Chain A
């Protein structure tokens, strides 16, 4: 099982959700986050004085899927969610040790 942490621009959330639903994702969780990447944020002005904005709003979508689904999803996200601009985001892939369904107590892939 793999956990995908998908960090995207907030305006791409609906596209990503549609993509995940089409590809048999069992569930997901969404977090509003802020951050920056290699561009280190942007510079803005307030009453004539400059300041750096490095708390840029992003959305993180986490989902746990089987290894095969993970590969398919990653390819699809890279193809369909990218805009070609800086700030499109990242996907981090982690190995999941176990999953448990609280309602029934099942473990492993059946719990997804």
Chain B
């Protein structure tokens, strides 16, 4: 059976995840910033496409140079001989990485700074580390396993989000004068839930697109269902016990945590493995949200760092435990686990250095944070001239 058409359908499903991210981020933040969140999500894909087309594609999939990066392709000039399937497929994964940051950076980021960040991550930062993992680079040569991107995409996105959140600082009013965190409620949990379901749906493409036969695809669909379901149950039970009531927005994050966790090993673990990967992800996401919010005082409005960063690392590591051929719990010893750790550390270091440098430069030059007044009034009005994304809910005078 020729799976090349499924490859492109999978790519379209991954594109649709942009809708999921937009809805989650809009739902978990305040209405006065909804237009801005939509713009960030819309533009990180569109600017990313241009950047990937001009440079990123070449760095990712070009002929391998010393295991570090690729080069030598001609998508601009040689339409007939370019692998457009590979271009679109890798572009939508690149765009997923970029869009993770907009959640962690929500409600206080200068739009121009975000646009520049989107271009740089899609042009250079993502393609190089993805080349190491999938483009023939040194990590793939080492036997590193990341089937769909727990490390390449989610860890990178989550850690980039963490750096952004640290450089930006918390939203005004997030912490009181004693440093105690104040809840800032998402304005539309229903839209947030829509986003989670759309992401889960798209994830069947995210994890499954690279499958080459139907048995493998079916197994990927199975693990991609079991892990998030178990993670969500775990998060629900954990918050129920911890807070006295099952938390809706945390449970929604739990589903995503499970999906991120299973992404690296979706084709290499069985459903028992998926069960435990989901279980740990469901607890880890809550622990990291609380760690960031209450202990480290880092404001992450949607839990992106916990979902993508922490669970991305967990998912990549878990392959070393649960891979049914080489995993520690399946008789494979520590070898695969060691390779997974090398990959995690290498990509982590690359991300911290490049993204840290990028945000530092932006911070020192054009500035990344909106002003106090802009943030209080709302970015829709101040960054986009949009008085409200919901004008009919307030007094608008129409003359008849």
Pairwise interchain contact A45-B245, C-beta atoms closer than 8 A: yes
B157 to chain A, nearest CB (A): 21
Contact assessment for B243 and A45 in the assembled complex, using a CB-CB cutoff below 8 Å: yes
By a CB distance below 8 angstroms, the chain A residues around B185 are 46, 51
Whether the Cβ atoms of B245 and A48 lie closer than 8 Å is no
Give chain A residues whose Cβ lies under 8 Å from the Cβ of B247: 45-48
Majority secondary structure, B binding face: helix
Q: How far is the CA of A47 from the CA of B290 in the complex (A)?
A: 8
Near B by CB (< 8 A), chain A positions 37-66 give: 45-51
Q: Which residues of B contact A47 (CB under 8 A)?
A: 183, 247, 249-250, 289, 293
Minimum Cβ distance to chain B for residue A57 (Å): 15
Q: Is B239 an interface residue (CB 8 A)?
A: yes
- Which of B183, B239, B245 makes the CB contact (< 8 A) with A49? B183
Q: Does A48 lie within 8 Å of B182, measured CB to CB? A: no
Chain A residues lying within 8 Å of B244, measured Cβ to Cβ, are: 45
Q: What is the size category of the interface that chain A forms with chain B? A: under 10
In the complex formed, the residue of B with least CB distance to A50 is B183
| A45 to B, closest residue via Cβ | B243
Residues in A neighbouring B294, C-beta threshold 8 A: 49
Please give the distance in Å from A22's CB to the nearest CB on chain B: 35
Q: How far is the CA of A25 from the CA of B77 in the complex (A)?
A: 80
Could you say which residues of chain B place their CB within 8 Å of the CB of A48? 239, 242-243, 247, 250, 289-290
B293 touches A49 (CB 8 A): yes
How far, in whole Å, are A45 and B181 apart by their CA atoms in the complex? 12
In whole angstroms, how far apart are the Cα atoms of A50 and B181 in the complex? 9
Q: How far is the CB of B52 from chain A (nearest CB, A)?
A: 35
Smallest Cβ-Cβ distance to B239: which chain A residue: A48
Smallest CB separation, A56 vs chain B (Å): 15
- Whether the Cβ atoms of A49 and B182 lie closer than 8 Å is yes
Contact, CB under 8 Å: A51 / B182: yes
Tell me the smallest distance from the CB of A12 to a CB of chain B, in Å.
25
User: Which A residues touch B181, using CB under 8 A?
Assistant: 49
CB closest chain-A residue, reference B250:
A47
Q: How far is the CA of A46 from the CA of B244 in the complex (A)?
A: 12
A-B pairs with beta carbons under 8 Å apart, 19 shown: A45-B183, A45-B243, A45-B247, A46-B183, A46-B185, A47-B249, A47-B250, A47-B293, A48-B239, A48-B242, A48-B243, A48-B289, A48-B290, A49-B181, A49-B183, A49-B293, A50-B183, A51-B182, A51-B183
Residue numbers of B with Cβ under 8 A of A are 181-183, 185, 239, 242-245, 247, 249-250, 289-290, 293-294
- Extra contacts besides A45-B243, A45-B247 (18): CB < 8 Å: A45-B183, A45-B244, A45-B245, A46-B185, A46-B249, A47-B247, A47-B249, A47-B293, A48-B239, A48-B243, A48-B247, A48-B250, A48-B290, A49-B181, A49-B182, A49-B293, A49-B294, A50-B183
Q: Which 4 residue pairs are nearest across A and B when measured between Cβ atoms? A: A46-B183, A51-B183, A49-B183, A49-B181
